[in-house]
Amino acid sequence: MKTILTNKHISNETRKRALQCYIEPVLMYGCQAWTISKQIQHKLEATEMWFLRRTLRIPWTAKKTNERVLNEANKRRSLVRTIRKHQATFLRHVMRRGKLEHLVTTGKFEEKRSQGRQREKIMDGLATWL
């Protein structure tokens, strides 16, 4: 895809569309079950900006802020928001079923809790986002 994303003869809109149609779905494969921490969120945003800079042919040595690159592309950051929407849709599906997936997602097992900091659940991440 490098030849398409950096081609001078293809318009910026077409390259951004190719990025949205071919690369983002591969990047977001299986995102419904991800637990997104702040560290992962920053990595996803950095990846999104890296792809956008590649499509606009802006070298990483150019001293342009991310906001300036987004303004130049007439785009907003949307990758994390799209992942959260997929997660919310998947959560609605799981909650309607009410079987084992519902128990796992809500964390309503009657077991002894392990020592140390508890792992973040999918519900915790969606609750902070919503």
Write out pLDDT tens, residues 24-47: 888 889 888 888 888 999 999 999
Write out pLDDT tens, residues 50-105: 988 888 888 888 889 999 999 988 888 889 989 988 888 888 877 777 676 666 66
Write out pLDDT tens, residues 90-108: 888 777 776 766 666 666 6
- Let me know: does 4 contact 18? Beta carbons within 8 Å: yes
Burial status of residue 66 (CB atoms within 10 A of its CB: 0-12, 13-18, 19 or more): middle
Residue 104: predicted pLDDT: 65
- DSSP three-state, residue 61: coil
Q: Which residue has the higher pLDDT, 111 or 28?
A: 28
